[in-house]
């Protein structure tokens, strides 16, 4: 592609030329553009020096365009019309970017927490008649969420993996607890003695797939309790918490799951929570992003601020209930 020559005028200069054509004087053009007469005059001299063409005719009664200036102004008018379209289009893109946020969330967070966060966000938006962010949500396991944030496919991610991913910024937005569950007719449902780390690491469990935040957190917790990790292969590896829950209910084996995902089953007695000792199964849930220590301004920061307010309100309500 052929590059523009150094004699090509910039858009501001073309706007000055058109203002002189409309008003018929340098001082009137300056008033229209918010410039002094001296600044307009200097701009005209610079334009004529740059182009090598005399564009403006000066006289005691006013200023007008030379024949070459008239032709140049006609070209400038068309060019500035296209420039205004581009400027307006970019403004629209900026607004869309500011008010839309691409969120990738681990399946546990996407299924069990994000719906409430998004519903309350929309309610707050209507109540305030504000330009709150519109969320485009993708549910994946934590490993894929981290990759999406690193590659720029997500503006913000939510994960339940142990620790903050290397090279990314993060903030704890909620807390969760993993619980060992079995169906009510399982032998462990009648145990009075807790399951210790050695016994749990030798158990054949129904688990999530590799890369799942729940699976990674359980492995890290077991290693932190002094074991070398899970020594028995999983009975089943499944890609969603709902599938794991269904397998446990069907009698496939025990599973360690988010308490959020089995709360109703525990309350109704369909599943039984087996006590576990010497393993800390409490975990933070994190928002992650790239760049500065603080979340990106605009939609991401607005979304995280809303989640923080919802989480704080929930904790305050729970404390008052106790």
Which pLDDT tens digits describe the chain residue by residue (322 residues)?
A: 678 899 999 999 999 999 998 888 898 899 988 889 999 999 999 999 999 999 999 877 778 899 999 999 999 999 988 988 887 777 666 655 556 789 999 999 999 999 999 888 887 765 554 556 678 899 999 999 999 999 999 999 999 987 788 899 999 999 999 999 999 999 999 998 999 999 999 999 999 999 899 999 999 999 999 998 899 999 999 999 999 999 999 999 999 999 999 999 999 999 999 999 999 999 999 999 998 888 988 888 889 999 999 988 765 555 555 4
CB-based contact 283:177 (threshold 8 Å): yes
pLDDT of residue 127: 55
Which residue reads 């404390």 in tokens? Answer: 319
pLDDT of residue 137: 94
| Global confidence as pTM | 0.68
pLDDT of residue 59: 79
Residue where one domain finishes, among candidates 62, 96, 130: 96
pLDDT of residue 286: 96
Does 3 reside within a domain?
Answer: no
pLDDT of residue 47: 93
Does 6 reside within a domain?
Answer: no
Residue where one domain finishes, among candidates 96, 130, 152: 96
pLDDT of residue 17: 92
Q: What is the CATH number of the domain that holds 77?
A: 1.10.10.10
If asked whether residues 174 and 35 sit together in one domain, one would say no
As a residue count, the chain comes to 322
> How far is 204 from 250, CA to CA, in rounded Å?
15
* Residue spans of beta strands (DSSP E) within the chain: 56-59, 62-65, 100-106, 134-140, 156-159, 169-183, 206-208, 236-238, 255-258, 271-274, 282-289
The count of other CB atoms within 10 Å of the CB of residue 2 is 4
Domain range enclosing 188: 101-321
* C-alpha gyration radius of the chain: 32
Cβ neighbours of residue 209 closer than 8 Å, sequence gap 6 or more: 141, 215, 237, 238, 239
pLDDT of residue 24: 87
Which residue reads 């004529």 in tokens? Answer: 48
> How far is 283 from 274, CA to CA, in rounded Å?
18
Q: Strand pairing partners for 174?
A: 285
Does 22 reside within a domain?
Answer: yes
pLDDT of residue 316: 56
**Residue of 278, 284, 282 lying closest to 226 (CA atoms):** 278
Domain count, the chain: 2
Burial class (CB in 10 A: 0-12, 13-18, 19+), 142: buried
Question: CA separation (Å) from 81 to 11, 95, 100, 155, 241?
Answer: 11, 21, 29, 34, 55
pLDDT of residue 277: 96
């Amino acid at each position: 592609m052929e590059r523009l020559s150094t004699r090509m005028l910039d858009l501001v200069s073309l706007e000055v030329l058109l203002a002189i054509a409309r008003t018929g004087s340098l001082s009137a053009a300056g008033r229209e553009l918010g410039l002094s007469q001296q600044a307009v005059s200097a701009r005209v001299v610079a334009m004529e020096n740059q182009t090598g063409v005399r564009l403006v005719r000066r006289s005691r009664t006013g200023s007008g365009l030379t024949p070459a200036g008239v032709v140049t102004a006609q070209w400038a008018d068309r060019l500035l019309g296209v420039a205004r379209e581009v400027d307006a289009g970019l403004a629209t893109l900026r607004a869309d970017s500011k008010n839309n946020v691409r969120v990738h969330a681990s399946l546990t967070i996407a299924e069990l927490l994000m719906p409430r966060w998004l519903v309350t966000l929309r309610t707050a938006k209507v109540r305030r008649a504000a330009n709150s962010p519109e969320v485009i949500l993708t549910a994946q396991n934590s490993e894929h969420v981290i990759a999406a944030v690193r590659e720029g496919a997500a503006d913000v991610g939510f994960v339940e993996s142990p620790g903050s991913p290397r090279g990314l910024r993060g903030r704890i937005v909620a807390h969760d607890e993993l619980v060992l569950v079995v169906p009510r007719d399982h032998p462990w449902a009648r145990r009075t003695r807790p399951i210790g780390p050695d016994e749990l690491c030798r158990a054949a469990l129904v688990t999530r797939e590799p890369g799942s935040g729940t699976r990674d957190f359980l492995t890290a917790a077991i290693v932190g309790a002094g074991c070398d990790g899970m020594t028995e292969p999983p009975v089943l590896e499944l890609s969603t918490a709902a599938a794991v829950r269904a397998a446990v209910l069907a009698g496939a084996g025990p599973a360690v799951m988010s308490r959020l995902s089995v709360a109703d089953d525990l309350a109704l007695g369909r599943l039984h929570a087996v006590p576990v000792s010497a393993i800390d199964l409490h975990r933070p849930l994190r928002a992650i992003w790239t760049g500065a220590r603080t979340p990106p301004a605009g939609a991401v920061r607005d979304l995280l601020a809303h989640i923080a307010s919802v989480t704080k309100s929930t904790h305050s309500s729970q404390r008052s209930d106790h």
